[in-house]
Amino acid sequence: MNRKGFIAIYEDDDLIRQLLERWLGEAGYSVRPVAGEPPCLVIADTPSPRGAQSRIERLQAEYAAPILVLSGRFRRGLAGSAEAARRLGVKKVLPKPFTRKELLSAVDEMLEGAE
């Protein structure tokens, strides 16, 4: 089995979470926790950038992995996303809606050099 690592997903919408799990699974990632295996990445949805900080702080306290934040409230475009990531203290944000290609590209970028 070709496994690239475990990715923890925090998404409240069941349909979106299932879609993320499918896309990541098809790309070779595990989305189900394996005993003793820490995640290589955490993907977390936030309803708004304002409410994101407390969720991010909890996840940073729990995991040593980088966090990719998703939200329908982020502006599209490199400058808006980069500024939001800087304010939130994460490496990257991904505005919703996004394509499979955009998600996998963001995941690859986040994990580049982490192995």
CATH number at residue 21: 3.40.50.2300
pLDDT digits (tens, 9 = 90+) for 53-90: 888 899 999 999 999 999 877 666 555 567 777 788 88
For residue 72, report the phi and psi dihedrals to the nearest 5 degrees.
-75, -5
Q: What is the pTM of this model?
A: 0.85
Residue 2 lies in a domain: no
Residue 26, domain extent: 7-110
Cα–Cα distance measured from residue 94 to residue 85, given in angstroms and rounded to the nearest whole number: 9
Distances (CA, A) of 52 to 22, 68, 83, 91, 95: 25, 12, 14, 14, 13
Cα–Cα distance measured from residue 91 to residue 35, given in angstroms and rounded to the nearest whole number: 27
Cα–Cα distance measured from residue 89 to residue 65, given in angstroms and rounded to the nearest whole number: 13
Q: What's the number of domains the chain is made of? A: 1
DSSP 75: P
Residue 115 lies in a domain: no
